A = this chain, B = another copy of it.
């Protein structure tokens, strides 16, 4: 219940504070004999790295993952290595940590950050860069997710993209490929929308303000039958994972909130064959179990709380103070959150993929 482990069979435990010696994790439950391209893991990690454009912070994080164990010592011709079935331990050293930037915040609680709640919970906190509550912790989730992807069937594809940001969204009738999210620094796969988003975002940045938005995710290639009844429904576990991402405040599957306004006769997905329906209002999940159609969900992200404007707050004694957060901060979390969403989806799916092996007698 300490909150640092995710997964039942395929389990990722992460550790690390933003300005400590290292971030890292242990992935346990990976079957033996899986070939892994460790360079592909680093590529996934590079996608969430800051310092890649005007839209992201200038902090230069090295973000180089070192694997400590879990692989057979002899690589194949492509340089891939094979899992041993033992836990995979890894670390990402923290560098470029300007702790002094944060000293002023040791006695003040930044609004809508975790400063106050951590203090209330633990009685003390690492105030440097948010400590354990920092989004920097997600480096470990990205590594775990990249390893999960190596386990999953090759035709299973996970694509997250920025659908709305800074009040700008992809039009309903727009045609685009989710995978094109990688082509633009906003993470939006629709070029016209991406440009408009960028403009809106830079305006906010100039004002010292920040934006929220919505990330959509589409998963194809999941066969019917993944997920568990009652509490561990496929969408309940996906929701559990996604709501744990920093700044996530909501999630909906298939037609979601809009569908709740509709009627059964319009929302029901008629079967056209086994594993195929004429519509997909269910978002690929019925009764908590995949039905063979694409899995679709949307995540709401609040605007980043670190704004460069003066704000009212209180100090450790509850006395009024004003504060202004300086330092390097993104105007929106969404572009860098895409690989995190994909990583968590892969972690959730890997768990269910392995769980389904229990049903081989069926």
**Can you show 8 pairs from A to B with CB atoms below 8 A apart?**
A3-B230, A21-B67, A33-B361, A86-B126, A117-B224, A117-B227, A251-B252, A264-B305
**Total copies of the chain:** 4
Against B, the Cβ 8 Å flags (1 = close, 0 = not) of A122-150 are 11111010111100010000000000000
User: Which of A41-49, A182-190, A255-263 participates in binding chain B?
Assistant: A255-263
Residues from 69 to 109 in A contacting B, C-beta threshold 8 Å: 69-73, 82, 84-89, 91, 99, 109
A68 contact set on B, CB distance < 8 A: 15-16, 20-22, 24, 91
Task: Please give, as numbers and ranges, the residues of chain B lying within 8 Å of A227 by CB-CB distance.
Answer: 117, 121
Nearest 3 A/B pairs, CB to CB: A114-B287, A3-B228, A123-B362
- Chain B residues with CB under 8 A of A84: 17, 122, 124-126, 131-132
Q: Is A253 an interface residue (CB 8 A)?
A: yes
- Interface pair A124/B235, CB less than 8 Å apart: no
Q: For A123, give its contact among B2, B241, B290, B359 (CB under 8 Å).
A: B359
A167 contacts chain B at the CB level, 8 A cutoff:
yes
Interface residues of A in 270-310 (CB under 8 A from B): 270-275, 277-278, 281-283, 285-292, 300-307, 309
Q: Which of A56-64, A170-178, A191-199, A211-219 lies at the interface?
A: A211-219
Tell me the nearest residue of chain B to A114, going by C-beta. Answer: B287
User: What are the residues of chain B within 8 A of A88 when measuring CB–CB?
Assistant: 15
Question: How far does the Cβ of A311 sit from chain B's closest Cβ, in whole Å?
Answer: 6
CA separation between A4 and B290, bound complex, in Å? Answer: 18
Contacts of A236 in B (CB 8 A): 239-241, 243-244
Docked-complex contact A86 and B268, CB < 8 angstroms: no
CA distance A292 to B45 in the complex (A): 36
Contact A213 B260 (CB under 8 A): yes
In contact, B209 and A2 (Cβ under 8 angstroms): no
Chain B residues, Cβ within 8 Å of A355: 1
- Take A4-B86, A68-B15, A362-B122 as given contacts and tell me if A265 and B307 are in contact as well, using a CB distance cutoff of 8 Å: yes
A328 surroundings in chain B (CB, below 8 A): none
A86 contacts B132, CB within 8 Å? yes
The answer to whether A156 has its CB under 8 Å from any CB of chain B is no
